[in-house]
Amino acid sequence: MLLALPASAAVPAPVEGSDYVTIDQGQPYAPLRGRIEVVEVFGYWCPHCAEFQPALSTWTRAQPADVRFTTVPAVFTAGDVLARAYFAAEHFGMLPRLHDAIFQAIHVDATLPRDPSVDEMAGWFGQHGLDAARARAYMLSPAVDAKLEYARQFAMRSGVEGTPTLIINGRYRITARTHEEGLRTASALIDSLRVAPRRPRIPEGDRP
């Protein structure tokens, strides 16, 4: 099935089953009235995510105000320290500064392993402006356990099988063959959501 797009679209409409799939009873990660949510399910340990990050960052900065971009760490094990590190950086307001830096440390500088211990991650945070003891305590907190489970449930109900994966409004999971095609498909799906009738709004739940 071809998704209907505005006549002004400069690229061919993405094809369901090839470029994206519709998620059965899909829901956004963190619904916000009047905004179109774009989620990237990613892993700091993932070389494909590290490769994708520069283009994705440029694309997100170009999005208009009605688009909200959210990163969600893939949680394949409860002990995923890098997923815990993501939520610690977010909690302490350091994510905008440290997100790219964690990719850099793992995939370029080799100052962090792909599977660091909590102590190694806390030590790295301590070298980058975040108190190591506070970071360690938060990474091991029940609050982070809840966030990990929430992220895991979102990825499962969205059918995520690998990283990186883009999900539009909880409704569409992009399955494009290349990063460039994925961003083109994301842009087309966002445009279609602006002109298509909206589904009844899902009540906004409390995110952990």
The DSSP secondary structure of 89-134, one letter per residue, reads HHHTT-HHHHHHHHHHHHHTS-SS-SS--HHHHHHHHHTTTS-HHH
**H/E segment holding residue 194:** helix 179-195
The widest CA-to-CA distance across the chain, in whole angstroms, is 55
State how far the Cα of 198 lies from the Cα of 116, in Å rounded to an integer. Answer: 43
In this predicted structure, what is the pLDDT of residue 179? 96
The three-point CA angle 171-176-182 to 5° equals: 75
Low-confidence ranges of the chain (pLDDT < 50): 1-9, 197, 199-203
Which are the contacts of 187, defined by CB distance < 8 A and separation ≥ 6? 59
pTM of the model: 0.88
In this predicted structure, what is the pLDDT of residue 1? 41
- The CATH fold of domain 20-195: Glutaredoxin (3.40.30)
In this predicted structure, what is the pLDDT of residue 6? 47
In this predicted structure, what is the pLDDT of residue 97? 97
Domain boundaries, the chain: 20-195
Task: Tell how far CA 152 is from the center of its chain.
Answer: 12
